[in-house]
Amino acid sequence: MAHKFVIEQNKAGEYVAKFKYNSEVIFWTEGYTSKASAKNAIESILKNGPGAPVEEG
């Protein structure tokens, strides 16, 4: 599968959820103090993302 979420620790020791297509990072979340919080962010994106409107500036 080419699309995937990856949870990694940044240099500050925070957990960041990244969405990757192949090896390219498409977007990432803010840093979280726990891996569970990063997993919750992924669940929220999967739940709320498909119905989110698209705005153009």
Q: Under a CB-based contact definition with an 8 Å cutoff, are residues 3 and 19 in contact?
A: yes
Query: The whole model's pTM is what?
Result: 0.85
Q: Under a CB-based contact definition with an 8 Å cutoff, are residues 43 and 36 in contact?
A: no
pLDDT at 1 over 80: no
Residue 17's beta-bridge partner residues? 7
User: By CB neighbour count within 10 A (0-12 exposed, 13-18 middle, 19+ buried), where does 47 fall?
Assistant: exposed
Find tokens 């739940």 and name the residue. 47
- Give the pLDDT confidence of 3-49 residue by residue, as tens digits: 999 999 999 999 999 999 998 999 999 999 999 999 999 999 999 99
What would the CATH number be for the domain defined by 3-48? Answer: 3.30.160.160
Domain boundaries, the chain: 3-48
Query: What distance in Å separates the CA atoms of residue 6 and residue 16, rounded to the nearest whole number?
Result: 8
Query: What distance in Å separates the CA atoms of residue 48 and residue 57, rounded to the nearest whole number?
Result: 21
